[in-house]
Amino acid sequence: MFSKIQQLDDLVVKKIARLHSPFLNRIMVIFTKLGNGAFIWWITLCFPFLLMKKNRDIVVYLTLALGVTFVVGEIIIKHIIGRMRPSSKLEDEELIIKRPKDYSFPSGHTASSFTAFTVTLMCCPPYIFFPVLFVALIIGFSRMYLRVHYLSDVVCGMILGIISGSVCTILFERWMAHLFV
């Protein structure tokens, strides 16, 4: 089963490499940098929600969920799985961005992006969660485009983000409701 997944992952890496162009390279680097350290989600979501008293609970949900996503994905799963990145098979001159030093599975950029999407999906109107979904999808794709993640890394990052965002939001909402009853 794992060999079939790896074959599909390698095929997707090759297909996406055919899309490379100087223009797309610049766009994908911008989007991947937006996902660094969940920076975009702190600036675009947490900071504005902190200014609005009625939305401050969303900041708590998002902070908690991003923390859980980070611990589970970056600290636990990546070190248990220890999967090498597609970029480890490339020469330095083939790389578009600096070669990451950590493991590949799951994609942390994608996981944090889908954590943010899930929290906004559960707590915000469509004019907020649809743009978050759009950016999350591009960040996930950028990771494959830049050959620092396989398709399965990105898909599992999406799943981790959705689970983390859902569980943390639901549990914290219940805890808050129980606390103030």
128 within some domain: yes
CA distance 174 to 154: 30
**What b/e string do you get for 84-106 counting C-beta neighbours within 10 Å, with b at 16 or more?**
ebbbeebeeeeebbeeeeebbbb
In this prediction, residue 176 has a pLDDT band, given cuts at 50, 70 and 90, of low
- pLDDT for the residue numbered 138: 96
| Pure H helices in the chain | 2-17, 22-34, 39-41, 47-51, 56-69, 78-81, 108-123, 126-145, 151-179
Q: How many CA atoms lie within 13 A of 80 on its CB side?
A: 8
Tokens of 37: 């350290």
Please, how many CA atoms are within 13 Å of residue 55, restricted to the half-sphere of its CB? 16
Q: What is the mean pLDDT of residues 11-32?
A: 93
| Domain tally, the chain | 1
Q: What is the pLDDT of residue 38?
A: 78
| Residue 178 near residue 115 (C-beta atoms within 8 A) | no
Asked, for residue 15, whether it belongs to a domain, the answer is no
CA–CA gap between residue 103 and residue 53 (Å, rounded): 39
* pLDDT at 52 > cutoff 80: no
Give a yes or no: residue 9 inside a domain.
Answer: no
In whole angstroms, give the CA distance from residue 48 to residue 137. 22
Owning domain of residue 132: 21-179
Q: What tens digit of pLDDT does each residue of 90-108 get?
A: 676 677 888 888 898 999 9
Residue 5: inside a domain: no
Let me know if residue 38 belongs to a domain. yes
Whether 2 is in a domain gets the answer no
> Could you say which DSSP state residue 100 is in?
P
In a domain, 77, yes or no: yes
Specify if 164 maps to a domain.
Answer: yes
- Name the burial class of residue 73, with classes exposed (0-12), middle (13-18) and buried (19+) by CB atoms within 10 angstroms of its CB: buried
Confidence at 134, pLDDT banded by 50, 70, 90 = very high
Sign of the Cα pseudo-torsion (77, 6, 36, 55, in order): negative
